[in-house]
Amino acid sequence: MKKSSAFLSFVLLFVFLFLPLLPSHAGGEPLQGAEPLQGAGPVFDYSVDAQASAEGGVKPAFAFPSAKRLKAGDYPQMNGVNPRLAVWLAAQMHLWFAAFVLAVPIFVFIIEFAGIVRKDGRYDRMAYEFIRVSLTAYSITAVTGGLFLFSLIVFYPGLLSYLTAIFGGSMLIYAGLFLVESACLYIYYYGWHAMKSGDLKLLHLGVGLLLNLSGTALMFIANAWATFMMSPSGVDPAGVFDGNVWHAVQNRLWMPMNVHRFIANVSYGASIVGAYAAYSFLSARTKKERARYDWMGYTASFISIAALLPLPFAGYWLTAEIYGYSQQMGITLMGGSFGWLFIIQAVIIGALFLSANYYLWCGMLRSPGGQRYLKYVKYIAFVLFACFLVWFTPHTLILRPSEMKALGGPYHPLLGPLGLMPAKNTAVNIMLIFTYLSFLLYRRAGKTSVVKWAKTGDAAEAALFAAGVVNIVFLGVYYGYFTNTVYKVSSSAAQVATTISVIAVSVIIESRIFKNSVSSGPFEWGKMPARSQYALFLLAVSFTWLMGLMGYVRSAIRGRWHVFSIMKDGSPDAFTPAIGYAAKVVSSGTVIFMAVIIFIFWLSRLTGGKDNGHE
Amino acid sequence: MELPVRFAVSFIAAVAVFLALFLIMDVLILNALGLSFIFRG
């Protein structure tokens, strides 16, 4: 009876929550009685519309304005406040927190599900602790979101008014979804212990699913606004909206951005809770507590790295679409003034890979069996460093005439070719394979195979890695340097397929070799040197910094446009700042964000002791 | 001595097999993208 009434209340709650979302008329279509524009399809046909208007044909009931030509006077100024800086920092803060609070429920849901399937309460306790950290960050996300919105209202009213005319409907849906997400999050968190068994546990999992669906939908809507500013669609060259919001949402960069942000958020969110686990590990007073946070840190870093592996491919797709939409934006992105930020990006990504591998190598010490594999670490480290060096070798150097003369030209004769994309693609694929190898050795540390053909299996697996690397290098060198651009781009698909194949086949061979394996000694969670935890901190800081820098580049390649090719930025700040200035702004933002995050960790630990009573 | 020899033989044989499979995969992917395996200018 109690369960049925709880279920009924739950259903009723969601019916009410979704009521505002029911369309009173077809969402996104022209208002009351208006016919769709003649000739308006997925791509707006301007000539037909112009003709129809001129001949007194079908007109929309509501005439959408063209994009206003903004002048300096249209941007309110406030003494002591730089509008661009204020909006930049507010948007960046909101994005960092939003990425974190959207991602954590995704893997909390998966961990909770794994706990139910494996019937292991430890998963449930860990999932609960993860969601507790994100709950504290949730309110700060809302605060920074408000700050961002108010900064736009105050400093960029012209742009906001134009975007609202197009996306007003979706903004209301966004607000509704935010309500749904908040309700789900609070039920999910506060109902954790009340709904811990039987059907109620499944219901709890259902709330978690709804929480993730609403959160992801929120991100997709916000992405539509951001990508519309880069690759506008559903508007004519003057910026006049065709009346169908779906045309504006479905712009060219929308889906690549959705996929890229979704994967990146999971990786990022996991790195932040990994830092929380490291913080708790370092401040733990008992062995039991250290063991618990060690396991938590391991799980978080595993999720973070697992999501990091496909991220370069999603980024590659997004970049290819940017090039596809506008070569000008594409060239500005990687070949122009922002090219050097990609070198910084390469250094930070290299730091991510190295810290993740270092953490795994330290993790081998948890089991006495790990000693067997420590001898391979130096070779893996050598390959990773070599690839890291290739990965951040610049192509075009900023040189004085005397330096250019000494070099014999603008490019270094030996290192110059390493600055090109085929070398970078080759390096990153090998780095991915060797990071997986570190993980494989880490997994092997606690086990000893009992199958007779284990040595042959090892030989086959070593051969798989060797053949994979040979194929990746062949694809990179032959098609990258001895063919044309079409081949260069296409061969990268084969490189990715090789990396995925190596990992997939290796997983199968490993599962056969270690079937019914025996333990190679007592596995001790918590038996980790303190320095390994700093690798987790480095992971979180690197991710935060990377997101800030690359987010800036993505947004700044629009140049002097608010909405690319449609609405010009007429403010006094309509210029691209120097890379050094941008790096300082993003770095300051990173410091502020990390300071707030450490405050959140401290708050979560304050309530932690009380909540642990349930465990 | 027997084991390292067996390991080496298995390793070389497996490298040949996997490399052949990877090359077939390269051909298929490039063909699917409308390109031939050997670049003809």
What would the pLDDT profile of B8-25 be if each residue is shown by its tens digit?
999 999 999 999 999 999
Residue A39 has pLDDT above 70, yes or no: no
Confidence of residue A50 (pLDDT cuts 50, 70, 90): very low
Q: How far is B8 from chain A (nearest CA, A)?
A: 7
Does A455 sit within 8 Å of B7, measured CB to CB? Answer: yes
Give the number of other Cβ atoms within 10 Å of residue A550's Cβ. Answer: 20
Instruction: In whole angstroms, give the CA distance from residue A373 to residue B6.
Output: 21
Q: How far is A552 from chain B (nearest CA, A)?
A: 33
Q: Is A275 exposed, middle or buried (0-12, 13-18, 19+ CB in 10 A)?
A: buried
Among the ranges given (A23-37, A164-178, A236-250, A322-336), the one the predictor scored with the smallest mean pLDDT: A23-37
Q: Is A88 exposed, middle or buried (0-12, 13-18, 19+ CB in 10 A)?
A: buried
Write out chain B residues lying below 8 Å of A498, CB-based: 22, 25
Name the residue among A261, A258, A259, A257 with its Cα closest to residue A322: A257
Confidence of residue A14 (pLDDT cuts 50, 70, 90): very low
Are the C-beta atoms of residues A502 and A470 closer than 8 Å to each other? no
Nearest residue, CB atoms, A470 vs list B7, B19, B39: B19
Confidence of residue A105 (pLDDT cuts 50, 70, 90): very high
Q: Which two tokens stand for residue B4?
A: 């390292």
Residue A395 has pLDDT above 90, yes or no: no
Instruction: In whole angstroms, give the CA distance from residue B18 to residue A98.
Output: 44
Q: How many helices (H) and strands (E) does chain B have?
A: 1, 0
Residue A505 has pLDDT above 70, yes or no: yes
* Predicted pLDDT at A610: 53
Confidence of residue A605 (pLDDT cuts 50, 70, 90): confident
Instruction: Identify which has the larger pLDDT, A564 or A340.
Output: A564
Does B39 sit within 8 Å of A468, measured CB to CB? Answer: no
What are the angstrom distances between the C-alpha of A78 and each of A74, A150, A153, A154, A397? 13, 14, 13, 9, 40
Three-state secondary-structure class, residue A591: helix
Chain A contact for B37, CB < 8 A?
Answer: no
* DSSP secondary structure, A178-218, as one string: HHHHHHHHHHHHHTTTTT-SHHHHHHHHHHHHHHHHHHHHH
Residue A601: alpha-carbon gap to chain centroid: 21
pLDDT tens figures, A61-79: 567 888 999 999 999 999 8
Residue A78: phi and psi, rounded to 5, are -135, 130
Share of chain A above pLDDT 70, in %: 89
Write out chain B residues lying below 8 Å of A477, CB-based: none
pLDDT tens figures, A139-187: 999 999 999 999 999 999 999 999 999 999 999 999 999 999 999 999 9
What are the angstrom distances between the C-alpha of A420 and each of A238, A339, A416, A426? 38, 12, 8, 10
Confidence of residue A608 (pLDDT cuts 50, 70, 90): low
Instruction: In whole angstroms, give the CA distance from residue A558 to residue A82.
Output: 20
Share of chain A above pLDDT 90, in %: 65
Does B39 sit within 8 Å of A487, measured CB to CB? Answer: yes
Longest CA–CA span in chain B (Å) reads: 50
* Predicted pLDDT at A196: 87
> Rounded mean pLDDT of A493-497?
93
Chain A contact for B6, CB < 8 A?
Answer: yes
Residue A10 has pLDDT above 60, yes or no: no
Confidence of residue A520 (pLDDT cuts 50, 70, 90): confident
What are the angstrom distances between the C-alpha of A543 and each of A173, A201, A221, A275, A530? 30, 34, 24, 11, 21
Nearest residue, CB atoms, B39 vs list A482, A493, A494: A482
> Rounded mean pLDDT of A317-334?
90
| CA closest to B19 among chain A residues | A467
* DSSP secondary structure, A50-90, as one string: HHHHHTT----SS-PPPPP---GGGS--BTTB-HHHHHHHH
Give the best residue of B7, B9, B15 to mutate against chain A (max A CB count within 10 A): B15
Instruction: In whole angstroms, give the CA distance from residue A55 to residue A416.
Output: 61
Does B39 sit within 8 Å of A479, measured CB to CB? Answer: yes
Q: How many CB pairs under 8 A join A and B?
A: 73
* Predicted pLDDT at B3: 65
Write out chain A residues lying below 8 Å of B37, CB-based: none
Residue A350: phi and psi, rounded to 5, are -60, -40
Residue A326 has pLDDT above 60, yes or no: yes
* Predicted pLDDT at A416: 87
Nearest residue, CB atoms, B19 vs list A471, A475, A501: A471
Confidence of residue A48 (pLDDT cuts 50, 70, 90): very low
Does A482 sit within 8 Å of B15, measured CB to CB? Answer: no
Query: Tokens 């212990």 belong to which residue?
Result: A193
Instruction: In whole angstroms, give the CA distance from residue A479 to residue A272.
Output: 39
| CA closest to B32 among chain A residues | A490
Three-state secondary-structure class, residue A339: helix
Write out chain A residues lying below 8 Å of B17, CB-based: 463
Does A491 sit within 8 Å of B30, measured CB to CB? Answer: yes
Does B3 sit within 8 Å of A471, measured CB to CB? Answer: no
Are the C-beta atoms of residues A208 and A108 closer than 8 Å to each other? yes
Pairing of strands A567-568, A561-563: antiparallel
Confidence of residue A22 (pLDDT cuts 50, 70, 90): very low
Give the number of other Cβ atoms within 10 Å of residue A544's Cβ. Answer: 26
Confidence of residue A414 (pLDDT cuts 50, 70, 90): confident
> Rounded mean pLDDT of A497-520?
94
Among the ranges given (A47-56, A99-108, A130-139, A587-596), the one the predictor scored with the smallest mean pLDDT: A47-56
Are the C-beta atoms of residues A447 and A514 closer than 8 Å to each other? yes
Q: Average pLDDT over chain A, rounded to whole?
A: 87
Confidence of residue A85 (pLDDT cuts 50, 70, 90): very high
Chain A contact for B31, CB < 8 A?
Answer: no
Residue A12 has pLDDT above 60, yes or no: no
Q: Average pLDDT over chain B, rounded to whole?
A: 90
Give the best residue of B3, B6, B10, B23 to mutate against chain A (max A CB count within 10 A): B10
Residue A119: which H helix or E strand, with range? Answer: none
* Predicted pLDDT at A124: 92
* Predicted pLDDT at A340: 83
Instruction: In whole angstroms, give the CA distance from residue A219 to residue A387.
Output: 34
Residue A59 has pLDDT above 90, yes or no: no
Residue A47 has pLDDT above 50, yes or no: no
Instruction: Identify which has the larger pLDDT, A250 or A409.
Output: A250
Does B10 sit within 8 Å of A471, measured CB to CB? Answer: no
Residue A195 has pLDDT above 60, yes or no: yes
